C-alpha cells in the first residue's frame, strides 16, 4: 500500500513521527506543494531560504535512494492528484495549526475523502501541539506563566530516528523545479537544511547555552542560538532541543527552555484565537488613535530614523533576514509608540524580510510590545532607543557594525547619540522625531481608551 508524505514545516528526515507513520505502510511519495497562497506573499528572504532548505531535503532523500517531488498549485488539487498518481490510500502530514494551514488541510481532507483517501495527522511542529494544554475549565491560557507550568507538566515524546529501508516513489509528470529566486543586493542568508540545523545546535550547546542567560540580550555578542529559522522550517524539532537540554541544570539552559515555551504559548494562543493573526487580542486597543504610515514609516523601514540602535536593527533585518530579539522589541516600540503606527504595519514588514518569519511568534510578539496581547508590556513602558542602545550595546559594536556611517570611532566617538555636526560630516540623518515628546503623545493617546 502506497502512501504520500506531504512535507510542509517539517523539512527533515530525522525525528519526524509523521514521516515514520507514512513509512510504516509501504512505498512513500515525498511531496512538497509550492502553494501560491504562501509563496506569493513571502518576501525574498523566506523564498530563498525555503528553496535552499528544499534543496537540502532533496539531497538527503537522494542519498537514501529517493527524491523530492515538487508540484506547484492549489494544494487541494495537487495533493489529490499526487495520491491518485501513486495509488495511495493515505496522505500523512504533521498537523498545521495556523489559520490558513488548518483551513487548507480541512479542504484537502474533504477532497481526499471523495477519492477514498485518508489524511492522517501525526504530531505538529511543536513539542506540545496547540490545544493540548488547557485550563481546568477547558479554555485556553491567556497568561504565559501558568501555561508554561502546564506545558512542562504535560511533557512531550522523545526524539525518534529517521526511517530506514524505505522504498521511495516519485511523480513522473507535472512536477516543477524548486525556484531559485535571486536575492536583493546586500542580503545574505544562513545555511539551510537538517544537517546545518544540527551543526548549529551542537555549536550552541558546546559554546553558548551555559551563559545564554547573561548574553542573550546583547546584540553586540553572539549570545543567541540562531535556531529560529531552523525551527520555523522544521529542519529540527523542538523535541530534539528539549531532549538535549534535559540533563542541563544551568540558568542558561533553563532560560532557553522558557524561550521554547514562549514559542509554543504563542502558537497555542493563535490556535485558540485565529483572528489575532491580524486583529487585536485586547480589542480596546483598536480604538486608540493611530497615524497612517508616511515618510517616517518609510524611514523606519529603511533604517534612516536617526536613532542609531533602531537603524542598526532595521538594517540588520534587510542584510541577513534576521534581527536580534531585544532589537525586535526596541524597533517595534519605536514604530508603535514613537511613530504611533499600528502594529500590523510593522508585523507585515518583519514577515516580509524575516527568514524565521513565524506568524504566531511574530504577530503576538508585536502585540506584546503594542500592549494589546497576552502578558503584554504595559503601554506606558516606552523604550527609549538611546538608553536601550547604551544598556545592551555598551561599546557601540552592534551599531557600528550595521550603521556604516557610524563605524569609525575616530570620527564618531559616541555611536549612540552622535552630535549634529558628526551626523552631517558622516552623512547620517538627524533624528526624525523628539522621543520625549512622542512618548508623551503616546501616553495621551493611551488615556483615550482608559476612560
Query: 126-157+195-272 and 283-447 share one CATH topology?
Result: no
Domain ranges of the chain: 2-124, 126-157+195-272, 283-447
pLDDT at position 25, please?
86
Count CB-CB contacts under 10 A for residue 336.
26
Q: Which CATH architecture does the domain made up of 126-157+195-272 adopt? A: Alpha Horseshoe (1.25)
Q: Are the C-beta atoms of residues 292 and 384 closer than 8 Å to each other? A: no
Number of Cα atoms under 13 Å in the Cβ half of residue 412: 25
pLDDT at position 119, please?
98
Count CB-CB contacts under 10 A for residue 155.
10
Q: How far apart are CA 130 and CA 128, in angstroms?
A: 6
Average pLDDT for runs of 10 along the chain of length 451: 96 98 96 95 93 97 97 98 97 97 98 98 98 96 96 96 97 90 88 98 96 97 97 98 96 97 98 97 96 98 98 97 97 98 98 96 96 87 97 98 98 98 98 98 95 73
Extended strands (E) in 94-233 = 118-121
- Residue 236 — φ and ψ, nearest 5°? -150, 150
pLDDT at position 322, please?
97
CATH T-level assignment (fold) for domain 283-447: DNA Cyclobutane Dipyrimidine Photolyase, subunit A; domain 3 (1.10.579)
Q: What is the SS3 assignment for 122?
A: coil
Count CB-CB contacts under 10 A for residue 398.
25
C-alpha dihedral sign at 361, 299, 283, 101: negative
pLDDT at position 180, please?
84
pLDDT at position 405, please?
98
CATH T-level assignment (fold) for domain 2-124: Rossmann fold (3.40.50)
Q: Is 179 buried (19+), middle (13-18) or exposed (0-12) by CB count in 10 A? A: middle
Q: What's 92's DSSP letter? A: E
Q: What is the SS3 assignment for 119?
A: strand
Amino acid at each position: 500500500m502506497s502512501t504520500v508524505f506531504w512535507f510542509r514545516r517539517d523539512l527533515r528526515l530525522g525525528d519526524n513521527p509523521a514521516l515514520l507513520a507514512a513509512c510504516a505502510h509501504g512505498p512513500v511519495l515525498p511531496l512538497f506543494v509550492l502553494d501560491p497562497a504562501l509563496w506569493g506573499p513571502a518576501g525574498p528572504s523566506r523564498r530563498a531560504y525555503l528553496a535552499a532548505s528544499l534543496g537540502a531535503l532533496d539531497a538527503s532523500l537522494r542519498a537514501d535512494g529517493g527524491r523530492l517531488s515538487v508540484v506547484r498549485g492549489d494544494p487541494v488539487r495537487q495533493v489529490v492528484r499526487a495520491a491518485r498518481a501513486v495509488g495511495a490510500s493515505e496522505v500523512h502530514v504533521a498537523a498545521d495549526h495556523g489559520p490558513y494551514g488548518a483551513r487548507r488541510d480541512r479542504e484537502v481532507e474533504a477532497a481526499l475523502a471523495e477519492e477514498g483517501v485518508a489524511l492522517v495527522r501525526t504530531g505538529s511542529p511543536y513539542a506540545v501541539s496547540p490545544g493540548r494544554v488547557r485550563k481546568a475549565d477547558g479554555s485556553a491560557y491567556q497568561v504565559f506563566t501558568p501555561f508554561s507550568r502546564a506545558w512542562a507538566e504535560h511533557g512531550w515524546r522523545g526524539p525518534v530516528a529517521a526511517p530506514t529501508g524505505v522504498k521511495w516513489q516519485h511523480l513522473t509528470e507535472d512536477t516543477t523545479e524548486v525556484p531559485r529566486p535571486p536575492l536583493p543586493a546586500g542580503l545574505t542568508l544562513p545555511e539551510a537544511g537538517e544537517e546545518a540545523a544540527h551543526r548549529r545546535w551542537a555549536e550552541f550547546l558546546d559554546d553558548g547555552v551555559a551563559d545564554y542567560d547573561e548574553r542573550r540580550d546583547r546584540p553586540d555578542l553572539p549570545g543567541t542560538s540562531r535556531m529560529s529559522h531552523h525551527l520555523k522550517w522544521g529542519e529540527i524539532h523542538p523535541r530534539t532541543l528539549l531532549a538535549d537540554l534535559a540533563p542541563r541544570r544551568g540558568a542558561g539552559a533553563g532560560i532557553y527552555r522558557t524561550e521554547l515555551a514562549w514559542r509554543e504559548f504563542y502558537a497555542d494562543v493563535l490556535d485558540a484565537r485565529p483572528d489575532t493573526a491580524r486583529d487585536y487580542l485586547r480589542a480596546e486597543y483598536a480604538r486608540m488613535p493611530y497615524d497612517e504610515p508616511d515618510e517616517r514609516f518609510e524611514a523606519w523601514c529603511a533604517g534612516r530614523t536617526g536613532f542609531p540602535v533602531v537603524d542598526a536593527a532595521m538594517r540588520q533585518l534587510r542584510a541577513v533576514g534576521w534581527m536580534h530579539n531585544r532589537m525586535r522589541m526596541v524597533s517595534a516600540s519605536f514604530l508603535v509608540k514613537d511613530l504611533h503606527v499600528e502594529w500590523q504595519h510593522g508585523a507585515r514588514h518583519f514577515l516580509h524580510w524575516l527568514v524565521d518569519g513565524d506568524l504566531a511568534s511574530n504577530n503576538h510578539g508585536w502585540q506584546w510590545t503594542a500592549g494589546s496581547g497576552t502578558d503584554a508590556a504595559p503601554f506606558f513602558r516606552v523604550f527609549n532607543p538611546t538608553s536601550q542602545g547604551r544598556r545592551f550595546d555598551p561599546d557601540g559594536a552592534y551599531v557600528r557594525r550595521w550603521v556604516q556611517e557610524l563605524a569609525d570611532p575616530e570620527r564618531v566617538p559616541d555611536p549612540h547619540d552622535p552630535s549634529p555636526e558628526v551626523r552631517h560630516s558622516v552623512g547620517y540623518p538627524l533624528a526624525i522625531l523628539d522621543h520625549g515628546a512622542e512618548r508623551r503623545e503616546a501616553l495621551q493617546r493611551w488615556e483615550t481608551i482608559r476612560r
